[in-house]
């Protein structure tokens, strides 16, 4: 899982990987709390499917300014799995791009 927080004071990227779903959910909950007012946190949180999303779409979401808050959170699930499968195919086919 990949997430980025953007705002006036900071741009952070967090990568969560592994089988400990409980800890990942807890950490995401902590990040959502840091966005600010719970009334606007949903407006400033985007959940994206990493299996189908393009880099441009991720970039657009991460570049969007927060709405009535200091920060915005973008959560992309499945992106690492997608990248891992593409790398495996390229390595198997000996077609690693230069």
CA 83 to chain centre: 14
pLDDT at 98 over 50: no
44-65: per-residue pLDDT in tens? Answer: 999 999 889 888 898 899 888 8
CA 46 – CA 35 distance, rounded (Å) = 12
Determine the pLDDT at residue 23: 92
Q: What pTM was estimated for this model as a whole?
A: 0.71
- 19 to 5, 27, 75: CA distances (angstroms): 23, 14, 17
pLDDT at 9 over 80: no
Residue 7 or 83, more confident: 83
First to last CA, the chain: 26
For the chain, the average pLDDT equals 79
């Amino acid at each position: 899982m990949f997430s980025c927080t953007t705002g006036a004071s900071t741009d952070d990227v967090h990568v969560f990987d592994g089988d400990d779903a409980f800890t990942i959910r807890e950490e995401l909950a902590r990040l959502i709390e840091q966005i600010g007012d719970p009334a606007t946190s949903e407006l400033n949180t985007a959940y994206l499917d990493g299996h189908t999303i393009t880099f441009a779409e991720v970039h657009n979401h991460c570049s969007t300014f927060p709405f009535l808050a200091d920060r915005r959170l973008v959560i992309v699930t499945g992106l690492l799995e997608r990248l891992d499968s593409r790398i495996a195919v390229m390595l198997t086919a000996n077609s690693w791009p230069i």
